[in-house]
Amino acid sequence: MTAIDGVTPATDGAAAGGDPALSGHVIVYGVRGVGLRTVEHLHAAGVGTVVVHAGPDDVDPVADALLASWGVPQVTGRTREALVAARLDTASAVICVPDDDLKSMETALLVRRVRPDVRLVVRMDNSAVGRALAEATGEDSVLDVAALAAPAVVEACRGARPRRMVLAGQTFLAADLTVDRPATLRELYGELAPIALSRAGTETLLCPGRDTAVQPGDRVTAIGTPAEFVARHVPHIPPEPDARARRAAGTRSASAARAVELEEYGGPPGARTLLRSLIAEADRPLRTTLLTLVSLVVLSVLVLQFGYVKPDGSHMTVLDALYFTVETIATVGYGDFSFAHQAPWLRAFAIALMFCGVVMAAIVFALLTELLVSTRLARSFGHRRAARTKGHVIVVGLGALALRVVQDLLAAGNRVVVVERDPDNPRLGQVRARGVPVVIADATYAAVLTNVNLGAAVAVAVLTSDDLVNIETGLAVRDQIGDRWREVPVVLRVFDRELGAAVHEGFGFRYVRSTEALVAPWFVGAALGLGVLGTFHVGQDAFLVGCLTVARGGGLEGTAMQELATARTRVIAIRRAGTGKMENPPRSGTRFAAGDEAYLVGPYVELLGVLRRDTLGRDAIASWPRPTPQSDGAGSPGTARPADPGPPEAAPARAPLWQG
């Protein structure tokens, strides 16, 4: 390695600073986790990339080996000098994705000061800081990983239901449909845009043509407006709520809300549950002290009842004796009873009673106070509420992603129970404040899963930051859930691609998700000018919904959709430049014009390929071989695979490591 202006290239002969011709590239600052996946996607899309390491802790031998195999230059050193060596002056975009929010903010502000015109994308986990940073770096430049990944987990937990998205103010739905008779997709679903076709024993067919023949039992994922679904008499599509219904839902009475709470968590977290928790958590010293104090009170009542003589010569009743005993132990002394004129032995007993009573009462108060303020009570309180909850989603782990998943599930009306190992997790207070039962325990144990009423749960999301812990917990859940295994969605967060594939195929987990794989396309799309609007899964295939503004003089201007060289991207709507009119669905002969906003859906590699074609210009793609697409009457062509590999710049040099 050789030093360049105080900066050390991470790979021999690949230093960004050593290539004066380097321009139009993307700089990725930070390579761990999301950064590595972002570089992978950029490389697959044929985009020139330079990696700048975010400090010594950012250097990983495994990641370095992958980057070297892809031919991606790496630069290490102080941030300012490293960015200069990476040719910030000629870069088209900078993506800041270190794990440290402070480093991310510092680098973003530096980049914006040096290059105000460069496209900037910043990872920021703290939402409040992110909103403030966006004011300085630009609107939509700051992305929250947890907020981007959570919808995919929530979608899996809530099961197959229409995914709602808003494109240019118009609502679209992506719904899973089951074919009930032999026909073509066009005959069954008309204007609805099919984006996936699943058949038993075969691979999922992405973006099939509308003239594709289907058989009963086939599953089709289609996109369209609610009105288009209704027009095709598709069942189980919820109607769009009108304003009156939304207002009624927002003004639900307090009594109804209370009834929902009673139903959701098996009863209110009131005095009965608190008392049971207190009894369960009372340790041996407290129980022993309480028993001794009660025994002392009983003894005193008996002695006073038969030994105390009132001025009129009568003896105390049981109530009087109990009253005087408590009065004596509490050292209140109202003057209505006195030991002054009693027998000497009774006065000696009073001395012992006052001394022992005060000591025992003080110990009880001290132990009880400790119990009330201890985390043990909170744990017991959560255990007992969780054990009584039904129809809930169990979330294991409480990191940033899990917290966002919990919030989104609650917003969607789901009941949630959280299992977390660390009693000092700072996020515990946030979920408890929302009324969510929290169990501090290890979810890999069968007894813990029983305590959170796994048998009555509707979904489980295992979201800790440790792959092996997640897999171990998932296997424990599968073992305990028994016959309901195929009915209850179990979502596993697994980062490693090989491990995730093995878990999916070997153990039958249907929902294996990688946070980094889910959010990396957002960063890539934002850096390249594709507005990513959402993500969703069809089986194990991840789809992106994006908005592309057709560039003047670009490769898409004047191009008809049937001329697109990719067969796995759907253009579901176009908003025309100037008029703002939405064309939905666009026809195969529809031509793009400069300034049009095209709303596309498809695998991220395909969408990035379309984006690259727009940026290259028509002269650069005029000589490409045209596909022989299967016309579908609307949207993009409908073959299962692209008819040509596309331009060299867009062809993936290596298959992605992880498809999410």
pLDDT higher than threshold 70 for residue 182: yes
pLDDT higher than threshold 70 for residue 554: yes
DSSP assignment of 189-222 equals HTTSEEEEEE-TTSPPEES--TT-EE-TT-EEEE
Mean predicted confidence (pLDDT) in 421-445 = 85
- Confidence band, pLDDT 50/70/90 cuts, at residue 451: confident
pLDDT for 15 equals 44
- pLDDT tens across 213-229, in order? 988 888 888 888 888 88
Contacts (Cβ under 8 Å, ≥6 apart) of 532: 521, 522, 525, 526, 544, 545, 546
> Which of 1, 23, 5, 32 has the alpha carbon at shortest distance from 14?
1
pLDDT higher than threshold 60 for residue 11: no
Beta-carbon neighbour count of residue 100 at 10 Å? 16
| 3-state secondary structure (DSSP) of residue 135 | helix
Find where tokens 């009119």 sit.
581
pLDDT higher than threshold 70 for residue 81: yes
Give the integer Cα–Cα distance in Å for 25 and 412.
41
Mean predicted confidence (pLDDT) in 593-622 = 71
Give the integer Cα–Cα distance in Å for 58 and 475.
32
Give the integer Cα–Cα distance in Å for 564 and 543.
19
Contacts (Cβ under 8 Å, ≥6 apart) of 558: 591, 592, 593, 618
Q: Choose between 463 and 241: higher pLDDT.
A: 463
pLDDT for 91 equals 92
pLDDT higher than threshold 90 for residue 2: no
Mean predicted confidence (pLDDT) in 623-637 = 35
Q: Do the beta carbons of residue 154 and residue 176 sit within 8 Å?
A: no
* Weakest-pLDDT range from 105-109, 127-131, 639-643: 639-643
pLDDT higher than threshold 70 for residue 566: no
Mean predicted confidence (pLDDT) in 410-421 = 89
* Weakest-pLDDT range from 85-89, 132-136, 263-267, 607-611: 263-267
Distances (CA, A) of 308 to 33, 102, 293, 334, 341: 79, 75, 21, 17, 10
pLDDT for 197 equals 87
pLDDT for 4 equals 37
Instruction: Describe the strand order of the beta sheet including 531-538 as a list of residue ranges.
Output: 531-538, 541-549, 597-602, 570-575, 582-583
* ∠ Cα 359 363 365 (to 5°): 115
Q: Choose between 213 and 18: higher pLDDT.
A: 213
On the question of a cis peptide bond just before residue 585, with omega within 30 degrees of 0, the verdict is yes
- Confidence band, pLDDT 50/70/90 cuts, at residue 94: very high
CB crowding 574-613: b at 16 or more within 10 Å, else e = bbebeeeebebbbebebebbeebbbbbbbbbbbbbbbbbb
Q: What is the radius of gyration, based on Cα positions, of the chain?
A: 33
| 3-state secondary structure (DSSP) of residue 467 | helix
pLDDT for 477 equals 92
> Which of 431, 386, 377 has the alpha carbon at shortest distance from 266?
386
Q: Please state the pTM of the whole predicted model.
A: 0.66
Proportion of the chain above pLDDT 70, given as a percent: 78
Mean predicted confidence (pLDDT) in 118-135 = 88
pLDDT for 22 equals 67
Q: What average pLDDT does the chain have?
A: 76
Q: Do the beta carbons of residue 603 and residue 541 sit within 8 Å?
A: yes
Give the integer Cα–Cα distance in Å for 55 and 470.
29
Q: Do the beta carbons of residue 392 and residue 416 sit within 8 Å?
A: yes
Q: What share of the chain is helix, strand, coil (3-state, %, to 5)?
A: 45, 20, 40
Domains assigned to the chain? 8-143 (3.40.50.720), 278-375 (1.10.287.70), 516-621 (3.30.70.1450)
pLDDT for 373 equals 57
Q: Do the beta carbons of residue 532 and residue 546 sit within 8 Å?
A: yes
pLDDT higher than threshold 50 for residue 52: yes
pLDDT for 342 equals 84
Q: Do the beta carbons of residue 511 and residue 156 sit within 8 Å?
A: yes
* Weakest-pLDDT range from 56-65, 71-80, 506-515, 616-625: 616-625
Mean predicted confidence (pLDDT) in 618-639 = 36
Contacts (Cβ under 8 Å, ≥6 apart) of 554: 594, 613, 614, 615, 616, 617, 618
Find where tokens 């009129």 sit.
312
Q: Choose between 368 and 40: higher pLDDT.
A: 40
Mean predicted confidence (pLDDT) in 7-20 = 43
The runs of H, that is alpha helices, within 330-445 are 344-373, 375-388, 400-411, 428-433
Q: Do the beta carbons of residue 11 and residue 70 sit within 8 Å?
A: no
Give the integer Cα–Cα distance in Å for 172 and 185.
19
pLDDT for 643 equals 34
pLDDT higher than threshold 80 for residue 276: no
Give the integer Cα–Cα distance in Å for 123 and 109.
13
Burial class (CB in 10 A: 0-12, 13-18, 19+), 308: buried
- Over 20-48, what HEC string results? CCCCCCEEEECCCCHHHHHHHHHHHCCCC
DSSP assignment of 267-332 equals S-S-HHHHHHHHHHH--HHHHHHHHHHHHHHHHHHHHHHHH-B-TTSPBPPHHHHHHHHHHHHTT-
* ∠ Cα 476 477 480 (to 5°): 85
Q: Do the beta carbons of residue 164 and residue 197 sit within 8 Å?
A: no
pLDDT for 255 equals 40
pLDDT for 475 equals 93
Proportion of the chain above pLDDT 90, given as a percent: 14
pLDDT higher than threshold 50 for residue 641: no
pLDDT for 257 equals 41
- pLDDT tens across 133-176, in order? 888 888 778 888 888 888 888 888 887 567 778 877 788 888 88
Q: Choose between 56 and 384: higher pLDDT.
A: 56
Pair of tokens at residue 610: 């379309």
pLDDT higher than threshold 80 for residue 523: yes
